[in-house]
């Protein structure tokens, strides 16, 4: 009986170590991987100068920002924010995309038309230099944040779509 109890306690100790062993094996596997950002999707075919790496966040604010970037002519590639150190991966990201979008947000409530409201911090960072051509923060309804973001893209020269200037009047020559 004593042998059986000893055997059971040994199994109990091994069972309690199991989660630690699995975690150690996973971390060892991650540590052996080269320091490249975990980009989701195929960015090899995309032109880096026309690509922005964006968070893989499935939430409504991140989705609205990705849609706004696409509407302004950018190709987007998603990255996983928690899986890597962005500073270590800046060089690798610069080869895949000119910029990266960072987003920190939390839901603050709802607006009149059941439109969610957010507290947010949004930045677009140039991967090669670390410069930040666009940074905005605040709190507002989703539709307003989307509109403000699109306007900031235009104001900061981050739209790839050609714009037609409406203030120019065509010059016509007088007919004899």
What pLDDT is recorded for position 47? 77
Taking only the tens place, the pLDDT of each residue in 151-176 is 999 999 998 877 655 555 555 445 55
pLDDT digits (tens, 9 = 90+) for 133-156: 999 999 999 999 999 999 999 999
**Pick from 130, 63, 136: which is nearest to 93 by CA?**
130
What local confidence, expressed as pLDDT, does residue 124 receive?
95
Tell me, what's the pLDDT at 125? 93
Task: Identify the band that residue 90 occupies on the pLDDT scale cut at 50, 70 and 90.
Answer: low
- At residue 89, φ and ψ (nearest 5 deg) are -100, 5
User: At which residue do the structure tokens 């052996």 appear?
Assistant: 32
How much is the pLDDT for 30?
38
CB 152 within 8 A of CB 136: yes
Rounded CA-CA distance 53/128 in Å is 13
DSSP string, 34-53: -S---EES--SSS-GGGEEE
**Do 51 and 69 contact (CB within 8 A), yes or no?**
no
Q: What is the pLDDT of residues 27-79, one digit of tens each?
A: 333 333 333 344 444 444 457 788 999 988 899 999 999 999 999 999 999 88
Indicate if the pLDDT at residue 131 is higher than 50.
Answer: yes
Indicate the domain borders of the chain.
Answer: 41-155
Q: Which residues of 121-139 are buried (b: 16+ CB within 10 A; e: fewer)?
A: ebbbbebeeeeeebeeeee
Q: Please report which confidence band the pLDDT of residue 87 belongs to, taking 50, 70 and 90 as the band edges.
A: low
CATH topology of domain 41-155: Rossmann fold (3.40.50)
Give the per-residue pLDDT at 23.
40
């Amino acid at each position: 009986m004593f042998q059986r109890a000893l055997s059971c306690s040994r199994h109990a100790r091994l069972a309690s170590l199991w989660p630690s062993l699995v975690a150690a094996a996973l971390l060892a596997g991650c540590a052996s991987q080269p320091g490249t950002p975990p980009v989701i999707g195929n960015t090899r075919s995309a032109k880096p100068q026309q690509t922005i790496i964006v968070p893989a966040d499935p939430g409504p604010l991140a989705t609205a920002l990705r849609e706004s970037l696409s509407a302004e002519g950018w190709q987007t590639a998603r990255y996983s924010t928690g899986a890597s150190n962005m500073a270590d991966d800046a060089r690798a990201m610069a080869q895949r995309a000119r910029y990266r979008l960072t987003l920190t947000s939390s839901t603050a409530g709802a607006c009149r038309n059941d439109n969610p409201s957010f507290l947010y911090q949004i930045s677009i960072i140039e991967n090669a230099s670390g410069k930040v051509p666009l940074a905005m923060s605040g709190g507002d309804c989703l539709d307003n944040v989307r509109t403000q973001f699109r306007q900031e893209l235009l104001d900061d020269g981050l739209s790839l779509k050609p714009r037609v200037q409406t203030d120019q009047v065509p010059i016509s020559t007088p007919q004899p």
